[in-house]
Chain A
Amino acid sequence: MSGRGQVRFEDIVKMHGEFAALKGVTFEIEPGEFFALLGPSGSGKSTTLRILAGLDAPSAGRVYIDGQDITTADARDRDIAMVFQSYALYPHMTVYENIAFPLEMARMSKAEIVPAVQEAARKVAIEHLLQRKPGQLSGGQQQRCALARAIVRKARLFLLDEPLSNLDAKLRLETRTELKKLQRSLGVTAVYVTHDQEEAMTLADRMAVFMAGEIQQVGRPADVFARPNSIDVAAFIGSPPMNLIPARYKDGGIEIAGHRLETSLKESGERDVVVGIRPGAVRIAAGGIPAVVELVEDLGDTAILDLDCSGISIRARVSDGDVPREGTSLSITARAPDIHLFDATTRRRL
């Protein structure tokens, strides 16, 4: 199936009256890729998916699948399968009938449909539930049924709109892994919408980060995590979020709470910047910025420290072995490559 399901968005704009839900979105998805659209609610990621599916029409711009302009094509003619956040199962049909529905619509014979449905149900492990109605299934089982309905047709594109958000935490982790395996084994192009950066990080080959109707960054999750190209992306990706501290840059270094830290940016001159340091990159070492431990959140294998550095609050992640007590005074620092610098006015990476 590889070679199918290449997607290209060109300057897609979506207006809702005066409000621009999408302000010129451009990106490309390679065949066979697991691509995540990540962003907070209202950032335009679901709108993007709906435009790709043909459920909404863009106000401007063009959408291509496999090189073919499908901007105005009906949803029926796009050969796209989708898993809805609400699952959107047909409540009056059994699981079997739900999965068989897209095949019946494609006018396949019963002899072809029965094994295809069995096969899809087996892949998501619900073959024992085929005679049940959706109302008699648990949330996780409904989710699998929706997945089976989407994969049974072997469409060229597989869209998932926050498919895990209605599951409980444990099931979400399990399903996440299975989803990735399923996509690999099918070799199909998958587009995955989520507001959960952890899901995007773990599942996606590449991802696009949406903010306020625009794509902020496209790239491999590890790259986006390592080099966020704006303050907003930096704040959104990673848990706990990156420390963002307004500071003064001067000749290759920054000054926080009266203490100078060297950065990898070697530029002479002086300017206002926002310094980003991930909690995991904060090191406890002598001779650094003096700090007082205000609060310790013990997570078992690691702990999050809320530190007060003369009025600036910084969070640090430390491993379980050397957790300081609340109220302890210590000193912190960070290596130059771990210090991200952003322009305070344009909010872009320096």
Chain B
Amino acid sequence: MPHAAATPPAGDLGRVLAQRERRFAAALLAPAFVALLATTTFPLLFLIGTSTFRMDLAMPFADGFVGLENYRTLLADDRFWSSLLVSLIYTASTVVLQVALGLALALLVMDMKRGQGWFRVVAILPVVLSPAVVGMIWRTFMLAPEFGIVDYLAINAGLGSQNWLGDPTLAMVSVVIIHTWQWTPFAFMVLLASLASLPEDIYEAARLDRASAWQRFKRITLPLLRPAIVMVVIMRTMVALTAFAAIFTVTGGGPGTATEILNLYAYRKSFTELSIGYGSALAVALLVVTILISGVLFAMRRAK
């Protein structure tokens, strides 16, 4: 280096400086990188390793390396396929509802002359609650037969008392509503911020160009909100695919397996039936599904 510094052509000096900066940047990044490695990458590799073993805490004498045996079992496991289907239905319906309701709310609130600030504060409340707490609130306060608010309203509306969490279809509807209730404010906040950033004057231009309110929404608002909508869909899809706490506290996956999403099935296999190896294989399957779906969504985002 001292030799290079003796007669430094401009480019060389720049390169030396850039190299120094890179080293400093690497030193700053190292702690976070190590922490991530230790808390995400390592457990993930460990999980994949575990999934190639038979590891059954109830029958430890049969434990041992089995290769892809767990995955072969998985493909033939009806309960795996049904939980995957439940996961997909749960994800699709919650995400669609969140985006549709969030967008509708954002459009309404944009037109509010006053009280926008209050509305935002109130709207954000469900998001800051723990999903487990939300689950408890809904199970006891909202959906309990006779005493829950929802059931009380249903009775007064002449629908009669319903077994909200005991009937397979209603239980699924209930967990979808609970997730939507908690997370719509997120979509709402993101879309509201995005809406507020759209320039006022192009709407005025559109009015003079004789576009109706619906045409302005379809031809201008929606295309301009598209990046924000796609982002919300991606983020909410990943969370919905891996949802756990709210369903666990509300139905525990029941009745039967009516609300048993893949995540919950993996949990039950691992920690209720104590088949750690097979449970790990289910978790890896969930990971693969999540990666595939988010891959598709990101491709959509890059497309025009």
Contact = CB atoms under 8 A, between A and B. Distances in A.
Nearest to B202: A88
Contact of A84 (B204, B212, B224): B204
B215 A84 contact: no
A324 interface: no
Contacts of A149: 205, 209
Given A105-B209, A106-B210, A149-B209, A88 B204 contact: yes
Interface in B160-184: none
Contacts of B215: 105
A225 interface: no
A64 interface: no
Interface in A43-100: 53-55, 74-76, 78, 80-82, 84, 86, 88-92
B111 interface: no
Contacts of B210: 76, 102, 105-106
A86 B199 CA distance: 10
Contacts, number: 59
A53 B211 CA distance: 15
A170 B199 CA distance: 28
A256 to B, nearest CB: 49
Q: Top 10 nearest A-B pairs by Cβ distance?
A: A102-B209, A88-B205, A88-B201, A75-B207, A105-B210, A92-B223, A76-B210, A88-B202, A105-B211, A82-B208
A89 B202 contact: yes
Contacts of A105: 209-212, 215
B223 A86 contact: no
B220 interface: yes
Given A86-B199, A88-B201, A81 B208 contact: yes
A291 to B, nearest CB: 50
A149 B199 CA distance: 18
Given A86-B199, A90-B220, A76 B212 contact: yes
A114 to B, nearest CB: 18
Contacts of A53: 204, 208
A82 B204 CA distance: 10
A53 B203 CA distance: 13
Contacts of B224: 91-92
B195 to A, nearest CB: 15
B41 to A, nearest CB: 39
Contacts of A102: 209-210
Contacts of A90: 202, 205-206, 219-220
A323 B210 CA distance: 58
B26 to A, nearest CB: 36
Interface of B: 199, 201-202, 204-212, 215, 219-220, 223-224
A74 B204 CA distance: 11
A76 B207 contact: yes
Nearest to A85: B201
B221 to A, nearest CB: 10
A89 B209 CA distance: 12
Interface residues of A, number: 23
A151 to B, nearest CB: 13
Interface string A289-322: 0000000000000000000000000000000000
A102 B207 CA distance: 10
Given A76-B212, A105-B215, A88 B207 contact: no
Nearest to A150: B208
A88 to B, nearest CB: 4
A76 B204 CA distance: 10
Nearest to B215: A105
Nearest to A74: B207
A80 B209 CA distance: 8
Nearest to B200: A88
A84 B223 contact: no
Given A90-B220, A92-B223, A105-B215, A84 B209 contact: no
A86 B201 contact: yes
Given A76-B210, A105-B210, A82 B205 contact: yes
Contacts of B208: 53-55, 75-76, 78, 80-82
14 contacts: A54-B207, A54-B208, A75-B204, A76-B210, A82-B208, A84-B201, A86-B201, A88-B205, A90-B205, A102-B209, A102-B210, A105-B209, A105-B211, A106-B210
Contacts of B207: 54-55, 74-76
A55 B204 contact: yes
A102 B199 CA distance: 19
Contacts of B202: 88-91
Contact of B209 (A55, A74, A101): A101
Nearest to B222: A92
Contacts of A84: 201, 204-205
A90 B210 CA distance: 14
Contacts of A106: 210
Contacts of A89: 202, 205
A104 to B, nearest CB: 8
A165 to B, nearest CB: 14
Contacts of B223: 92
A94 to B, nearest CB: 12
A153 B210 CA distance: 11
Contacts of A74: 207
